[in-house]
Amino acid sequence: MTAPTVEAAIHELMGLAWNLVYGLLEERGLLGDGFNVEEFTGIHSWVEDLTRYTVVHSRTVAVLFVDTQPVDGSVFHRDRLGADDPKTLFTVPE
């Protein structure tokens, strides 16, 4: 179970961009049998200059948001969140 504020942040990001996230994960072949926002229980966020980067993840999939826009998805590995610069593990448009 996640803390209420974490859960609210995940739901807000995912809810704003539900169709985009779904399309992004479908395009990369990352959709499982079901796709429920409740499956996403982790979040890691940081700011660089004036841009906020956020990784929202389930046990199997991670989605990178730049500000509030989903930009990439990938298979989730716990060690990703320990990386010096987690956004380098995704494709970030320029």
Task: List pLDDT tens digits, range 39-68.
Answer: 888 898 999 999 999 999 988 889 999 999
Number of domains in the chain: 1
Q: Does 94 reside within a domain?
A: no
Does residue 19 form part of some domain? yes
Per-residue pLDDT at 33:
62
Whether the predicted model's global pTM rises above the 0.95 cut? no
DSSP 33: S
Three-state DSSP at 51 gives strand
Q: How far is CA 15 from CA 12, 71, 91, in A?
A: 5, 15, 22
Question: Quick check: is 48 in a domain?
Answer: yes
* Within a domain: 69: yes
Query: Residue 27: which domain range?
Result: 4-89
